[in-house]
Structure formats: structure tokens, C-alpha cells
A and B are shown apart, each in its own frame.
Chain A
Amino acid sequence: MSIGNYQKLALALLLGAELLGLGTSAGATTINRTFCVSSLNKSLSGQSVAFWGFGDCGGRGGMGGSGMMGGGTSPGPVIELGAGDTLNLSLMINMMTPQEAYPYNGHTIHLHGADVPTSEDGVPETNNNAVNGDTYTWSPQTGHEGTYMYHCHVHTVKHLEMGMYGAIVVRPKDASGNLLNRITPDPATAYNYQQIYVLGTVDPAYHTASGDSTVFGDYNPQYFLISGKEGKTASSPAISLAAATSKKVALRLAGLHSTNATFAIKDSAGNLKSFTIYVQDGRALPTPKSVTSVDISPGQRFDVLTTLPATSGTWYPQVTYKRLRDNSPYATVYGKITF
């Protein structure tokens, strides 16, 4: 929206005092959130790397607390909503916001996979260069359950690579409006646990370069992440889950990396464990597919379900990042499920 951005922002901030629970019709909820952008550093393999991350401005208290600075992280906060709900996601830009110089100043939020109209799409080149704050509205329908992503769409080769991204999960709801622990309305997709694996790769040169630089034509990733963390070995996983035996785990895979990648689950003996893909890119597969690995390219999402064994043990869901030319591996990043 190019008109009334600031009015909309102010309204969103007022409403943001209660981030959840503004029911509009039976079972449907309006979710108002306001993101700020902040600078942060991550220690990756002992090196300090600068990131930009989204965070709720001032946390749940609206303008209070850390106020305008936000507590940005990379990936940013997970946004969960139900099919039929409305998300009003506002972006606040202020003097504390890290930015590039013109013409790549400002930021947007693109709701990746949401199929929203141009005015909500967060693409500056198509939306009057609205990069100084806006509200992005989306109402996913039933049938669109699954994992989506958000990311800045300004000079994406820089801003997305800086870590300005996060996951959005759209869940089915029951008749009274409660979120269901299912991937889709289909009871076969019921789960006991869910975890979100945000795939990410880091070329530190992209984090220090800016503007029209030839650096952005040569991607040499050095660090490989799941949900913002390195997990180079099975004994130091990037992400872990303590679960009970025989339970079902939904893993939501979000491709915010810039390489090829393959996801698999192995047990402690290295055997591949099967899982079922129910949803890809927020759309149910016409026929769910049981596999032992799946390739994830930049921008793709998969919602998969696996059943843990009846006897206790450890599984290692893992992502192997691969070269775009020949699929030769760069590195494997480990997750962990104990049961």
C-alpha cells in the first residue's frame, strides 16, 4: 500500500498490544504483528558474521521494552496462523534500522508462496518502491495449509543473504477455531510434535559487501545452517527434539539457502528412515509420497511426517548442502530427535 502506510502502521501497533485473539468471525482470527529489523552477529565456526534479522518490535508489549530496536534474530520469529485467519504483518523502519545506501535503502516483507496481490507482495520494483514501512495482509484459505516463508525483497542478493527471513506455518483449524496438530485437515497428517527446519547458507563476503558489487556474482558459502545454527556433527546438532516413542513428528522444511540441498533422516547406525511428504509449497500432494530423502532447492518448502519407533533411540534428520553445478556435497548439518 502506498497510501496511508503510517496510519496503517500506527493502527497495527495499537492493535499489536494484543497480538493474537481478535476474532472477526466464527473461528477466524486476525493476527497483527509488527516487525522491526536489527543488526546482530553470529559466531560461525569461530568467526563473527554480521546479520540483519526480523523481530517483533519491542516484543509482546507493543512499543514498550526494547521499543523501536526490536530483538531481531535470523531466522526471525515463526509466524503461525490458521487457514481462514488473516495476517496483518507490519514492518517498521526507523532510525535504528540497519540499511544499505540508495538505491537499496529500506526493506520490505515478501510473503513467499502466499500468492498475494501486488500491493501486499513486498516487491519494491512492482509496488512504487514502498520500502519505508508497510503492512502486508494475507488470508490463507483452507487447502493452503503448510509452510511458507517471509523475507525482505529489497536487493535480495544482499538482504535475504543477510538473514532477513523466517518461516510461516499455516495450520488447519477445528470448527471452534482451534489450531489442529495436523499438517492438513486430513486426520492422517496428525502429529504429536512439530519442528521447523529453516535451511540457510552463508557466504561471509555477501555479509560485508553492499551496493552494486561483483561480490554478489560469485557465491562461495562457508557456513551451513539449520534454523540459524551450525550443527556440524551428530553430537552437536543445530536443532533437537526430545520426543516419546511411537509418536509422530512433523518436520517443516523451509528453503532459504542458495545452494542445492538434500534432506534425509538417519538412525544412529546410519540407516535411512522413511518419511512421508504431504505438502510441498503450501499445497497438498495429490498423493502423499513416502521417501527416504528429498531434494530442496532455494525457495521450496516441504511438510513431512515421520513415525518414531516403539523402542527408544536417536534419529538424525539432516540436510546435506550441495553445489549447484554437480551436486557434490559442501557439508551436512545435523538435527536430532531422541525418543
Chain B
Amino acid sequence: MPWCLAALFGQAEATTQDFTLYISSGTWPINGAGGTIVDIWGYGDRAGSPTVPGPALTVYEGDNVNLTVVNNHSIDHNLVIQGVSTDLSAIPPGGSKTYSFTAPTAGTYLYSDTLNNSVNREMGLYGAFIVRPADGSNRAWTGGPAYTFERTWVVSDMDKSRWNDVAGSGGTIDTAVYKPNYFLINGLGGFDGMMDPATTLDGMVGDTALVRIVNAGQYSQSLHFHANHFEVLTSNGVRWPSPYQQLDTINVPPMTTADVLFHLNQPGHYPMHSHTSQMETANGIYLNGVATMIMIH
């Protein structure tokens, strides 16, 4: 489970935000019918506790960010924030590095390990980097659309037998072949994605949710919302013009992000799910994978 490392409440001026992430190997459960235990490599906020995705890193526009990454794994790794950091060089086993930068314009960013021909990322080395407006307001950006609450959905996929099992036991992956059989939302690949309070959109009629979608996987994600259309605020960091276009299904290609605004409009329980058939399963077992609930009271 991702945890915000930064204070969630606003501040008036730029401050320094220090983070430390530890890379190690581990295992990760896919719960419920169709579930399993997969070998992973992940970032964690404590040594020896990798998570999928890695911890969400939340900062404010203009903050001075010092992000230290400690490599406690047996091969080279790095951490690159798409569109923010530019140092692609490796952190050797046993080494560490501090990435220092100024928090960019408010929005949602993907961080991942870019080394090893997508293997390091597939194994679980990714997460969300979230920049909130400097004034601490519940807005997508300074003066931008307001929201009642926000959610981050890091979606991804794993090919257990051809990738995780092989890399986890030190083998060499044929990266030309990728047939993922697990599809994750915030690291949850089973039915538990439907019930996770950090993932579901749960609120009152009249509430507005900002949903930050980060596709850290290798497959395109086509996410369909029941109950209401949503407004598209940004895709891959590019702000859309206002009035915002309304969709009920959004395509989020690999290694891209999208911020959408969902208005909770009518009481009831509704699913949000991938509309790509196998991505609603865990190793073929329905109803799992990339799906959660919209619960409106």
C-alpha cells in the first residue's frame, strides 16, 4: 500500500522535503480467487519493505525536494521522475544517490526505474509523484478546478511466469515476449481493489473527486466509469482547455498519466473498471484486476 510521506496540509511558502526510498527484492500478494504471491523488486519507505507501487511522494509546487534512493538490491537501479528529473545513471548495488530538484508545476507524475529494458519497472519499481499547488488548496493547480477529495490510481501489469518468476530467481527474461496475467490498481490485483478505501471513490452527492491516473505498466489502460462522465483536466502533464471535454472512458497509454475530475452525481454503487477484457481478471479469474468502486451516498 502506498503511503503519503509528506504532510498533507498546506503551507504558504516553499519548504524542503526530504524523502528516502530503499530498493530491495521481496514478494507481493495478489489476494483472493486467482491470486498468488509474486516476486517483486520495489521501492519502500523502510529498508527491506518494498511495496507495489512505491510510496506516493507528495510535495508542493516550488518545494526543494531531496529524494535519496538506497539500493539494497543485487543489480543496478535508478529512479527517474518523468518530465522532472533527468539523471538516468545507475545506482550500483549497495550504493545510494540523492536527487535534488525544485518541485515542478502542480500535477501528477510517474516515477520509475528506467534501467534493464523495462524489467526493473515490471518487477514493481514505480510510483506516483504528486505536486499540489503551493497554496495548499484542494485544486488541481493554483487557480485550477477545485475538488473535495483526491485519489491516485497507479495501474500496472505483471507477467508472473515469464517475467517475475524468471527475474526473481536471477534468470534472463526474453523481453520480446510479455503476456501479463495480473493487472493491478494501487498494487491490488484481486477483488480487494473494489474495497480499498485509498482507491474507491466514496463520497456524497455533490462531492468532486480529482483522480490521478498513472499507468506504470506496459499495456494501455482503457478505464471506464459508471455513474457519470468525468472531465479531462490533463493528459501526460498537458492541461486540456476549459471547458473540459467529458468522457466516460479514458485511454491511458503506458508510462503516461491523466488527471480527471469526477462529479459524484447520484446515489448508488457503481464500478470503475478496465474495459479491456483480460484486464478485469487475476490470471483469468473475474472480477479482479483493474477495477474499483464508486460509492455515492
Cβ of A115 within 8 Å of any chain B Cβ, yes or no, is yes
Q: With A115-B265, A258-B277, A281-B229 given, is the CB distance from A125 to B271 under 8 Å?
A: yes
Nearest B residue (CB) for A219 = B278
Complex Cα spacing A115 to B264, Å: 11
Q: Is the CB of A324 within 8 A of B220?
A: yes
Cβ of B266 within 8 Å of any chain A Cβ, yes or no, is yes
Chain B residues with CB under 8 A of A216: 277-278, 281, 284-286
Q: Select B277's contact among A123, A214, A219, A287, beta carbons within 8 Å.
A: A219
Q: Is the CB of A297 within 8 A of B179?
A: no
Q: Select A118's contact among B33, B247, B254, B268, beta carbons within 8 Å.
A: B268
Chain A residues with CB under 8 A of B243: 286
Binds B, one of A33-41, A155-163, A178-186, A229-237: A155-163
Chain A residues with CB under 8 A of B137: none
Q: Is the CB of A118 within 8 A of B224?
A: no
Q: Select A281's contact among B220, B241, B249, B265, beta carbons within 8 Å.
A: B249
B residues 191-220 touching A (CB-CB < 8 Å): 218-220
Q: Is the CB of B277 within 8 A of A155?
A: no
Chain B residues with CB under 8 A of A219: 276-278
Q: With A217-B278, A297-B220 given, is the CB distance from A126 to B284 under 8 Å?
A: no
Q: Is the CB of B33 within 8 A of A283?
A: no
Q: Select A297's contact among B241, B245, B267, B275, beta carbons within 8 Å.
A: B275
Q: Is the CB of A212 within 8 A of B33?
A: yes
Cβ of B46 within 8 Å of any chain A Cβ, yes or no, is no
Cβ of B239 within 8 Å of any chain A Cβ, yes or no, is no
Q: Select A325's contact among B178, B249, B268, B280, beta carbons within 8 Å.
A: B178
Q: Select B286's contact among A212, A282, A300, beta carbons within 8 Å.
A: A212
Contact bitstring B119-149, A, C-beta under 8 A = 1, else 0? 0000000000000000000000000000000
Q: With A214-B284, A280-B245 given, is the CB distance from A324 to B219 under 8 Å?
A: yes
Cβ of B181 within 8 Å of any chain A Cβ, yes or no, is yes
Tell me which of A158, A215, A283, A285 has the highest count of chain B C-beta atoms within 10 A of its own C-beta. Answer: A283
Q: With A115-B228, A297-B222, A325-B219 given, is the CB distance from A126 to B247 under 8 Å?
A: no
Q: Is the CB of B241 within 8 A of A156?
A: no
Complex Cα spacing A113 to B267, Å: 17
- Chain B interface category by residue count: 35 or more
Cβ of A77 within 8 Å of any chain B Cβ, yes or no, is no
Chain A residues with CB under 8 A of B271: 123, 125-126
Report the minimal beta-carbon distance from A223 to chain B, rounded to whole angstroms: 15
Cβ of B63 within 8 Å of any chain A Cβ, yes or no, is no
Report the minimal beta-carbon distance from A133 to chain B, rounded to whole angstroms: 21
Chain A residues with CB under 8 A of B244: 286
Nearest B residue (CB) for A103 = B286
Q: Is the CB of B286 within 8 A of A156?
A: yes
Cβ of B28 within 8 Å of any chain A Cβ, yes or no, is no
Report the minimal beta-carbon distance from B182 to chain A, rounded to whole angstroms: 8
Cβ of A121 within 8 Å of any chain B Cβ, yes or no, is yes
Cβ of A268 within 8 Å of any chain B Cβ, yes or no, is no
Q: Select A212's contact among B34, B181, B247, beta carbons within 8 Å.
A: B34
Q: With A117-B268, A126-B271 given, is the CB distance from A206 to B277 under 8 Å?
A: yes
Nearest A residue (CB) for B178 = A325
Q: Is the CB of B181 within 8 A of A325?
A: no
Q: With A125-B271, A216-B286, A286-B243 given, is the CB distance from A160 to B248 under 8 Å?
A: no
Q: Is the CB of B277 within 8 A of A161?
A: yes
Nearest A residue (CB) for B296 = A118
**A→B interface (CB under 8 Å):** 104, 112-113, 115, 117-119, 121, 123, 125-126, 155-158, 160-161, 206, 212-219, 255, 258-260, 280-283, 285-287, 295, 297-300, 324-325, 327
- Known A113-B249, A117-B267, A216-B284; further 5 A-B contacts with Cβ < 8 A: A115-B265, A258-B278, A281-B248, A298-B224, A325-B219
16 A-B pairs within 8 Å (CB atoms) are namely A113-B249, A115-B229, A115-B265, A117-B267, A118-B269, A212-B285, A216-B278, A260-B251, A281-B246, A281-B247, A287-B241, A297-B251, A298-B224, A299-B222, A324-B220, A325-B178
